[in-house]
Amino acid sequence: MPFEQHLPRWLTVSAEASRGAGVGPLRIAHLTTVDMSLALLLATELTVDLEHGHTVFGISSPGPYVERVEALGVTHVPIGELTRSWSPVSDLRAFRELSSTIRSLDLDVLHTHNPKTGVMGRIAGRLAGVPVVVNTCHGLWARPEDPLAKRAFVYGLEALAARFSDYELFQNAADMATMRRFLTRGRHRVVGNGVDLARFVPDQQGRDRVRAELGIADDVLLVGGIGRRVREKGVAEFADAASRLADRAMFVWVGPEDQTDAAGPVPHEDAVRFVGERTDMPAVYSALDVFVLPSYREGFSRAAMEAAACGTAMVLSDIRGCREIGDHEHQVLLVPPADAPSLARAVDRLLVDPDLRNRLGAAARQRALTSFDQRAVAQVSLDTYAAVGRRRTAADGADRRMTVVHVLPSDLDRGAQVYAGRLRDALAGDPEQRHLVVSLFAAPDGVLRADLRLGVPPGRARRAGLDPRAVARLRKALRDVGADVVVAHGGEPLKYAVAAAGRTPLVYYKIGLSSAEMSRAGHRRLYRLLTRRATRVVAVSRAVADQCHRVLGVPRDRLSVIPNGRDPETYRPAAASSGGATLPPSVLFVGRLEPGKRPGLFLDVVECLRQRGHALDARMVGDGPLRSDLERRADTLGVQLLGVRTDVPDLMRETAVLVMTSAADTEGMPGVLVEAGLSGVPVVSTAAAGVDDVVTDGVTGFVVDSGRPAEIADRVDTLVTHPDVRATMGARAREQCTRSFTISASAEQWRILTPTIVRRAASEVAQA
């Protein structure tokens, strides 16, 4: 009997709807403080709910946006006492009205948004007996630099309210990390944020029209800010920058005035042309040459996502909620908040450099297309409703979680095995998914700690390309555990997964550029055929994703990028002064001693530095076929060959600079660079594939396009002779890698992706 038959009628339909297999009569209410949030921030999510056949209510204070909300097909329910500001008397009246309203609607799901209604709604919804109560944190309303009393009040109130919800969704990882200690394990996740990508596109005709309406010639540079005119949006700093750069560009601010005490005076406001609210925002973003958001606090900036989708170059505050939009120098320029001089300098860079504007704008749009789809965020909400309902109504204690099986060739002390094992551990205990690791071939115990060891003896059949014993054992293992998704980590496991998975959705996790399927025409044809069987191809870096598209012919809409990750508690900076401050400074190489890693180039670099008079402590960690060839020269140069070590995190903390010398096509996502970044160690690296995903040149380290020892040595020279530069880059590297390259961040991406893979596979079967 299908497990859905054990569930209430409404929950069964919800589960089917969330997989795209049908429509269901759920009664879903989204609660916000004001109607503007429903109309502008949640319109796509409301639309997706309606498309799935649900009855949707929008609860908020009444206002000018009600008509737009109801035009979507949503029933608006007004709460007259709701206000943005906190007031004990009116808030108590609003809570009573809200509680009565929720009871009268007979809801299946209450989804709360915004700080104030998030607190009130979660409590009111649970007390009213709503079966599923979910909250989305759009941004904690206390910043890390706020006074302790304010932070304690905000975090305490959020922690209390979270006890009344079934699930907490966060738009950025920093907020979730702040609240994690107060949350129930397995009942929270980061969902990101998104915009309507069909609406927000570059619009040349709109650009011309808006500029004509504003009386701005096409050859005049236009800088714009978007949002309510309140202090926390950084309007004062924007106006200050406009005053400093008045001779270079025109400055406009688009958005409604604010009549509350959040507005405040704006010095230099005569340097800015203030424009009221507009509804043709794609055209407005397209009319700008530079979009600026100097905000003090954001949950996950919608305006910045909209600008990114329109391909507009951006300068944003270096705060949570803006950092998620893009990496500094890659998709955006980030500046410290409340720092008008820094803001002016960053804007000036874009004004004088059209190539930089074009590069950042194009990269931002690409980021938006892959990461900021609001329909995907809305689908996560529907999945969450169904998952919560399944958990609450499970009566027999059976494990009904989605089962994801990761397939690797054998248990080795290699990067792929380390990552798969840690990914499985990071997702242990998740209420919706269980992740298992399978090793195909017998090998001594390594770092993988496989859940299922198939133990096939390696032999001629494997060397010939495919061992039928491994196929048969894998097919049985997948059937025994009830696999819902199979993930093949690398090219060899892909062959076995394709042969064994049958109709089970299959993911090919492509982790490198130099694998056999790329080297010969016959292999390329084979792997193009194998890859077509995959429901999804997940690349470890942008370079690998590009190769999958270009060489294997994988359509962009079947590609995702999920970098591997490391544990930030294992790889962390030294507690006091880092090893980079020791004399002499230590320079480290970590990698297998094989041709692709070019360990000889590291020795060339050390030789250059020795010739310049540097007394370096140079070390090499790793083993491989080139070791015997390197030993005599390493000894002459005073380089220690440490072999394979288990204390690499400790060695990182003693290091001033990590040097990576890999050839261009021998990496996919260099994990050693992530380890260095988390350790607060700047790196100097050749431009191997995946490096620019991790290292921002000139910010968190240096990337050298050539393989010339002298050029690499120049960058190392800068870091070993300038401790302040080294410390600044190391701190930035730690921050960047903590945000994007931890094992928890990677696990969260897998957690979100796997349900979409099941839905796509089900949709393809239905259409067949």
Q: What is the pLDDT of residue 173?
A: 79
For residue 333, list its beta bridge partners.
315
Name all domains of the chain by residue range, CATH numbers in brackets.
3-190 (3.40.50.2000), 204-372 (3.40.50.2000), 401-565 (3.40.50.2000), 579-741 (3.40.50.2000)
How far apart (Å, rounded) are the C-alpha atoms in residues 58 and 14? 19
Position 718 pLDDT exceeds 50: yes
Judged by average pLDDT, the poorest of 226-230, 510-514, 552-556 is 510-514
Omega of the bond leading into 723 within 30 degrees of 0 (cis): no
Distance of CA 429 to the CA centre of its chain: 22
What mean pLDDT do residues 743-752 have?
A: 89
Residue with tokens 């097909």: 73
Q: What is the pLDDT of residues 4-27, one digit of tens each?
A: 333 333 333 333 333 333 334 799
Q: What is the pLDDT of residues 273-316, one digit of tens each?
A: 999 889 899 999 999 999 999 999 887 899 999 999 999 999 99
How far apart (Å, rounded) are the C-alpha atoms in residues 572 and 445? 27
Q: What is the pLDDT of residue 767?
A: 64
Residue with tokens 């050298």: 704
Distance of CA 276 to the CA centre of its chain: 33
Q: What is the pLDDT of residue 686?
A: 96
Count of helix runs (H) and strand runs (E) in the chain: 29, 26
Q: What is the pLDDT of residue 535?
A: 92
Rounded (5°) CA angle 430-435-439? 160
Rounded (5°) CA angle 647-619-579? 65
What mean pLDDT do residues 556-565 have?
A: 90
Per-residue pLDDT band at 577 (split at 50, 70, 90): very low
Report the residue count for the chain.
768
For residue 27, list its beta bridge partners.
55
Position 513 pLDDT exceeds 70: no
SS3 76: strand
Q: What is the pLDDT of residues 668-690, one digit of tens each?
A: 888 899 999 999 999 999 999 88
How far apart (Å, rounded) are the C-alpha atoms in residues 514 and 443? 24
Single out the residue of 617, 508, 595 nearest to residue 558, CA to CA. Answer: 508
pTM, two decimal places: 0.57
What mean pLDDT do residues 109-134 have?
A: 94
Amino acid at 560: S
How far apart (Å, rounded) are the C-alpha atoms in residues 264 and 273? 17
Q: What is the pLDDT of residues 191-231, one digit of tens each?
A: 888 999 999 999 999 999 999 999 999 999 999 999 988 88
Position 1 pLDDT exceeds 70: no
Q: What is the pLDDT of residues 320-343, one digit of tens each?
A: 889 889 888 889 999 999 999 999
Position 763 pLDDT exceeds 60: yes
Contact 155, 182 (CB under 8 A): yes
Contact 361, 312 (CB under 8 A): yes
How far apart (Å, rounded) are the C-alpha atoms in residues 225 and 275? 10
SS3 225: strand
User: How many CA within 13 A on the CB side of residue 450?
Assistant: 25
State the average pLDDT for the chain.
88
Per-residue pLDDT band at 630 (split at 50, 70, 90): very high
How far apart (Å, rounded) are the C-alpha atoms in residues 173 and 178? 9
Per-residue pLDDT band at 238 (split at 50, 70, 90): very high
Q: What is the pLDDT of residues 454-499, one digit of tens each?
A: 999 998 999 988 999 999 999 999 999 999 999 999 989 999 999 9
Q: What is the pLDDT of residue 134?
A: 96
Per-residue pLDDT band at 768 (split at 50, 70, 90): low
Position 631 pLDDT exceeds 70: yes
Token pair listed for 354: 């059209």
Backbone dihedral region for residue 175 (phi beyond 0: left; psi -120 to 50: alpha; all else: beta): alpha
